[in-house]
């Protein structure tokens, strides 16, 4: 009865077959494959950086939009205090303009 180890050795590759396989990996095609793998990795890194920058830009636009809304409401509240003539009208106009800008930035963020 043969041991399982002897059976396993027979299934293994002979030394010449192993060298032949290794020679295939040293062929000129392997250099191109390695370069392609490096290029793909570089593209992935670049794409990850681009996504990160886009997320940061969207976050900044969202925060700016929120600030515009707060300023607009503050200007409209101040209008009540200066409800006499040109000052009240100017503050009201600025407040409404801030709120309109906020709506535009909300559309941009979306």
- The answer on pLDDT for 7 being more than 60 is no
Report the predicted TM-score, pTM, of the whole model to 2 decimal places: 0.52
Q: What is the pLDDT of residues 8-47, one digit of tens each?
A: 555 555 556 656 655 565 566 667 788 888 889 999 999 9
CA distance 1 to 7: 11
Cβ 74 vs Cβ 107: under 8 Å: no
CA distance 71 to 77: 10
Sign of the CA dihedral with 49 first, then 55, 59, and 62 last = positive
What distances in angstroms separate CA 42 from CA 37, 50, 52, one per listed residue? 9, 12, 15
pLDDT given for residue 47 in this prediction: 92
The full set of domain ranges for the chain reads: 65-110
Q: What is the pLDDT of residues 60-85, one digit of tens each?
A: 888 888 888 888 888 888 887 777 77
pLDDT given for residue 88 in this prediction: 81
What percentage of the chain's residues is helix, strand, coil (to nearest 5)?
Answer: 90, 0, 10
Query: Terminal CA-to-CA distance of the chain, rounded, Å?
Result: 74
Q: Model confidence at 4, in pLDDT bands (50, 70, 90)?
A: low
> Which residue matches tokens 């062929």?
27
* Residues with Cβ within 8 Å of residue 95, at least 6 apart in sequence: 72, 73, 74, 75, 76, 78, 79
């Amino acid at each position: 009865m043969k041991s399982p180890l002897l059976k396993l050795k027979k299934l293994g590759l002979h030394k010449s077959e192993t060298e032949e396989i290794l020679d295939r990996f040293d062929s000129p095609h392997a250099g191109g494959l390695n370069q392609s793998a490096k290029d793909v990795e570089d593209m992935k890194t670049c794409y990850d950086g681009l996504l990160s920058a886009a997320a940061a830009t969207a976050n900044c636009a969202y925060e700016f939009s929120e600030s515009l809304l707060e300023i607009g409401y503050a200007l409209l509240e101040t209008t009540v205090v200066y409800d006499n003539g040109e000052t009240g009208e100017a503050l009201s106009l600025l407040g409404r303009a801030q709120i309109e800008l906020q709506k535009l930035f909300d559309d941009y963020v979306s």
